[in-house]
Amino acid sequence: MYDGSKIIAGLIVFVGLFTFPFLYNMGKASAKPEPKIDTPVIQQLAEKKCVEPKSFMRAEHMKLLNEWRDSAIRKAKRVYVGAEGKEYTISLQNTCMKCHSNKKKFCDECHNYMAVKPYCWDCHLEPKEKKL
Ligand code: HEC
Ligand code: HEC
Ligand code: HEC
């Protein structure tokens, strides 16, 4: 009794409309983030290492930053000892962002992808970046 071809045509249109936004975004906003570490300070490092191992930094840097802030402000302790015993001055601007001076190509690269917008830069200075 019903017209099978109309149903199929309808399904094709439906699937098309439904998947269009995904296909349209491919290679654009959803391109996988590739944070760059080729900054002048990192290039000078003998070992290309962060304050803690990469996997830890990737997963836990937000918590580490909170710890750094609490340590500096509440305990007035401004020296951080990394897992390998190396000492770092606790400072977002002068330590993290000195190595990661390419905020746009590093921090923002991931954050834009994940749609997180840390409010830190309302107060803390962003590194000055050259226009590429
Ligand atoms: C001495 C220079 C240096 C300092 C200081 C530094 N980093 Fe890093 N960071 C690096 C390098 C080099 C890598 C890449 C490590 C690797 O590939 O093993 C890295 C990796 C990372 C990663 C992982 C990136 C990825 O691709 O997964 C994050 C996140 C990060 N750093 C955030 C921070 C934050 C936040 C701070 C301050 C608490 C900081 N870094 C301080 C040099 C530094
Ligand atoms: C490898 C990808 C990656 C890199 C590189 C990266 N972040 Fe993140 N960052 C994330 C993700 C993912 C989250 C959100 C985690 C969550 O919501 O649990 C986040 C969250 C944060 C937060 C907490 C924000 C909030 O609102 O909860 C801070 C602060 C932060 N990042 C700082 C930095 C800084 C500073 C840098 C550059 C030095 C940096 N991140 C580099 C992936 C990254
Ligand atoms: C309302 C303003 C404000 C915002 C927003 C803010 N901070 Fe801070 N932060 C400060 C002030 C003020 C200090 C104290 C500076 C000092 O005593 O050296 C500080 C100190 C710190 C320190 C330790 C000292 C230093 O020089 O870095 C860390 C780490 C830090 N903040 C991280 C963060 C992170 C990460 C965010 C975002 C999630 C953030 N802050 C957002 C105002 C702010």
Ligand 1 centroid to Cα of residue 52, in Å, is: 8
Q: Within a 10 A sphere around the Cβ of 78, how many other Cβ atoms?
A: 14
More confident residue, 53 or 128: 53
Mean pLDDT (the chain, rounded): 88
- What's the pLDDT at 24? 54
**Closest Cα to atom 35 of ligand 2:** 107
Q: Would you state the structure tokens that stand for residue 8, as one six-digit string? A: 């199929």
**Distance (Å, whole) CA 126 – CA 107:** 11
Q: Would you state the structure tokens that stand for residue 124, as one six-digit string? A: 């803390």
| pLDDT higher than threshold 80 for residue 14 | no
- What's the pLDDT at 56? 97
Ligand 1 centroid to Cα of residue 107, in Å, is: 10
Q: Which of 105, 110, 107 is nearest to 121 (CA)?
A: 107
64-116 tens-digit pLDDT: 999 999 999 999 999 999 988 999 999 999 999 999 999 999 999 999 999 99
- What's the pLDDT at 92? 98
Closest ligand 2 atom to the C-alpha of 97? 38
Long-range contacts of 115-121 (CB under 8 A, 24+ apart): 118/62, 120/65, 120/92
Q: Is 110 in the pocket of ligand 2 (CB under 6 A)?
A: yes
39, 100, 126: residue to mutate for ligand 1 pocket, most atoms within 8 A of CB:
100
What letter represents residue 117's amino acid?
Answer: K
29-74 tens-digit pLDDT: 567 899 999 999 999 999 999 999 999 999 999 999 999 999 999 9
